[in-house]
Amino acid sequence: MTRWVELRGLIDKARSERKKDWLGALTVLVKRAAEARVCETFEQYRIKKHGRTITLSPRDGGAIMKTRKAEVPAIALRNLPALDDTKLSFRVVLQRDEKMIAEYTASAVGREKSSGRSWYVRVDLDAEQKGDGPCTHAMLHCHVGVDPAEEGGQESRTPLPWLDPDEALAWILATLHPHMEPR
């Protein structure tokens, strides 16, 4: 068994064993971001559960993040040392019985202050294995750096060990602002 297959097994195991109030855990992080003046206080109230999906509710005049497939509601971030025009979004989908996470995505996009280039970070837990195997497209992985849609940007996928959705969001926030380091 390769380490990649072993990592895939550990992720599947953690995915089925980890149970939390995901809505509450994500809300706590956004509330911390508001307390650190990284976003507005009202953003914590936009986190909603609709059926099996936890996401941000749209808001008239609110931030929108463009993805490859759609435009999604986002949280406008501010007071970041290295980025301007930064937006944060996330989505958690539970399986039908709501006892296990089917998939999740947490991401932030912005513009580097120093170069003006687009920058992004995204953590994805895929619902199913993609690619030719667990090494080519790990079930849980992150993308970080210059947006691949930009000239000179490159698509990259870095495998990750298990992270709960709130832990992934905490990691993203900590990379953006030193006061958001997990407690």
Q: Where are the domains of the chain?
A: 3-180
Reported as a pLDDT band with limits 50, 70 and 90, residue 179 is: confident
Q: Which pLDDT does position 149 carry in this prediction?
A: 67
SS3 content of the chain, % helix, strand, coil (to 5): 25, 30, 40
End-to-end CA distance of the chain: 36
CA atoms within 13 A on the CB side of 87: 15
Q: Which pLDDT does position 142 carry in this prediction?
A: 93
pLDDT in tens, 8-23: 888 888 888 888 899 9
Residue 132 has pLDDT above 80, yes or no: no
pLDDT in tens, 64-90: 998 777 889 999 999 999 999 999 999
Q: Which pLDDT does position 150 carry in this prediction?
A: 67
Q: Which pLDDT does position 172 carry in this prediction?
A: 96
Q: Which residues contact 54 (CB under 8 A, 6 or more apart)?
A: 22, 23, 26, 47, 48, 90, 91, 92, 93, 94, 165
Closest of 183, 173, 178 to residue 39, by C-alpha: 173
- Residue that the structure tokens 């059926």 belong to: 51
Reported as a pLDDT band with limits 50, 70 and 90, residue 1 is: low
H or E segment to which residue 34 belongs: helix 22-35
Mean pLDDT of all residues belonging to the chain: 90
Q: What percent of the chain shows pLDDT beyond 70?
A: 95
Q: Which pLDDT does position 63 carry in this prediction?
A: 92
Q: Specify the amino acid at residue 94.
A: L
